[in-house]
Amino acid sequence: MVRLSAIGIGGVTFQRALAHKAVTTGTVTAQMIQDAQWIADIELTDKEKEVLLRQLQTQVENERKLRLVKMDGDLGPASVFSPHFFAEHLPEDLESKPELSDTRSKVNVSWAIPLASTPSTINWIDDIAVAQSGIVEQAAALRAGKITSQRLTDIYLGRLKKHDPVLRCVVTLTESLARQQAERADQELAAGKDRGMLHGIPWGAKDIIAVPPFPTTWGGKPYRDQVRPNIATVAKRLNDAGAVMLGKLSVGTYALGDVWYDATTKNPWDTSQGSSGSSAGSSSAVAAGLCTFALGSETLGSIVSPARRCRVMGLRPSFGRVSRFGCMPLSWTMDKIGPIARHAIDCGIVLNALLGADYKDASVVERPFEWPEKFDMKGLRVGVTESQLSASEKLVLEQMKLDGAEIIPIEYPNTIPQEALLAGLDVESASMFDSLFRSAESEEDFGLWGASFRKSQFVRGIHYVQSLRARTMLIQETERVLRTVDLVLGGDDLVRTNLTGHPSMVVRCGTQELVTRSNSDNSNAVKDDSPVGFGPRTIKLTAKFFGDATLVAAADYVQRKLPPEPALPPAFS
């Protein structure tokens, strides 16, 4: 460092000159990267410099675009500093607090379909029929004595063991815990202690969700034996609701892709494909009927993408609905936890169990989640951008029109360069894994994140804050559009709505011929369009902030009008 200072590299003059040159010329050169390595305190190989050069050139262009956005002095960043939260609710104070279940907002749960009216059409001695049933049907059968939680658990544990060698969706099977929880559920239900709709229902946890004493690997080899000290709030709430945890399901390394340290998780409808985004194991297991439901998470597509690939229901709730405490952080301003299931109503039941503040995640807000007493498509305002509808979404749109929906063309403003705002994700993820980045022994330890972690060392603090301020504008303009309708069908808004925190839901419905296609996130995919059979279609719905119940109600409508067929992939039924 003394030598560098002697030639001016360590001085303020050099730092300013480097930043000025990059910004004013609109480019970054290999020599500039070589000279600036000391700023990030890293050493790069020639190959890493080559990749970083391309990324930084894009980053500089994004910064230039963002500087063209006019921001008023009254515009604050899309993040809130709440020091009182951390001071008022220190860990040692929690022991004196009332039970969280007593302090959470009371919500209307009458929509959870009266059990007595649930039709008994399932053959409960048929394991396949049981495996494809949903929460409402299983809850009714448990209370009618047609099945026990222990038998449900046996069925799903058996299917997980049988099919995981093909799907590679299980990281840790929590068999002993599952059997204990199932036995407890049967005993409590028999004694008249009913914890609600999820009592005795088997589920799977994405392996970013901490449940000690089991490992929480985050999909990365360096963490394969990691046991987190605290149970995640979402796992605790499901435990309190009487649900039965079958195991920890695979996550792409640090929540990116479908490749984790031991394998690639497969799509049950076409096992030549990976299952896509980081909620890989959750989507794969649910699709194959290996659990009733699972939890996933999304930062930038990790529920939506695998739910579409694996043809299941995936609900990404409004940001702030569900605590992330105890779940691996990737981006504190973008992470969301949500349910994955085969039935629309199941996503609503699970979300209802997860809602509310826990004194541990400062982002969580209390908002009602009320199922409409009567959901009628007639007069419902459905927003669409016709050019962005898939064939399946066009089919659903015609059904909505037949049932009286009002179709309203919408278009989001294109004033904010969305890609420039992803600096927040880059910087926050690099911050989370900075110690790993600086101590890892192999590039493989980073999964797909290596290039992003290196690039993030060069993001200027000003650009990060400006990107948060511009996100405020993006949130406002997006909410303004979404408030003109009740929901949006389809649309190319994945990046936008993850940056803003608006809720989206993938819905499986109807049937179509499936083909195998090349996919950029899956190098093992067959490179053609060969038919591989039939499976459900998928569509996407989006709503305004805290319009989650409308999404679930609309998804239930779509699923009833166009029942998904077949219910399970042929190889798993």
Of 210, 154, 146, give the one whose Cα is nearest residue 181.
154
**Residues of the chain above pLDDT 70, percent:** 85
Hey, what are 276's tokens? Answer: 């896509």
pLDDT-derived band at 86, boundaries 50, 70, 90: low
Q: How many CA atoms lie within 13 A of 504 on its CB side?
A: 31
Q: What are the backbone dihedrals phi and psi of residue 209, each rounded to the nearest 5 degrees, phi first?
A: -95, 120
Q: 3-state secondary structure string, 205-272?
A: EECCECCCCCCCCCCCHHHCCCCCCCCCHHHHHHHHCCCEEEEEECCCCCCCCCEECCEECEECCEEE
Tens digits of per-residue pLDDT, 435-478? 999 898 899 999 999 999 998 988 889 999 999 999 999 999 99
For residue 530, indicate whether it is catalytic. Answer: no
CA distance 152 to 526: 36
Do the beta carbons of residue 131 and residue 156 sit within 8 Å? yes
Section 33-62 average pLDDT: 78
Q: Are 475 and 78 in contact (CB under 8 A)?
A: yes
pLDDT, one tens digit per residue, over 188-227 is 999 999 999 999 999 999 999 999 999 999 999 999 999 9
In the three-class reduction of DSSP (H, G, I as helix; E, B as strand; rest coil), residue 507 is classed as strand
Q: Which residues contact 18 (CB under 8 A, 6 or more apart)?
A: 32, 35, 36
pLDDT at 289 over 90: yes
What does the alpha-carbon distance between residue 269 and residue 287 come to, in Å, rounded to a whole number? 8
Per-residue pLDDT at 539 exceeds 80 = yes
Q: Does residue 98 carry a pLDDT above 70?
A: no
* High-pLDDT (> 90) share of the chain, %: 71
Q: What is the mean pLDDT of residues 254-267?
A: 97
Query: Whose CA is closest to 269, among 508, 535, 518?
Result: 535
Q: Is 206 a catalytic residue?
A: yes
Tokens standing for 461?
């603090």
Average pLDDT score over the chain: 87
In this prediction, residues 381-399 reach a mean pLDDT of 97
Q: How confident is the model at residue 111 (pLDDT cuts 50, 70, 90)?
A: very low
Compute the average pLDDT of residues 55-79: 83
The CA-atom distances, in angstroms, between 157 and each of 167, 283, 284, 291, 346 are: 14, 17, 15, 8, 20
What is the secondary structure of 478-499 as a DSSP string? Answer: HHHHHTTSSEEES-S-HHHHHH
CA distance 264 to 235: 25
Active-site residue, from 149, 250, 275, 278 = 278
Residue 488 has pLDDT above 70, yes or no: yes
Q: Taking a C-beta distance cutoff of 8 angstroms, is the pair 468, 489 a contact?
A: no
Q: Which of 133, 149, 206, 363 is catalytic?
A: 206
Q: Which of 302, 305, 331, 467 is the catalytic position? A: 302
pLDDT tens-digit map of 138-176:
999 999 999 999 999 999 999 999 999 999 999 999 999
CA distance 437 to 434: 5
Is 284 assigned a catalytic role? no
**Domains along the sequence of the chain with CATH:** 2-75+415-471 (no CATH), 122-410+484-572 (3.90.1300.10)
pLDDT of residue 528: 57
Average of per-residue pLDDT across 333-346: 97
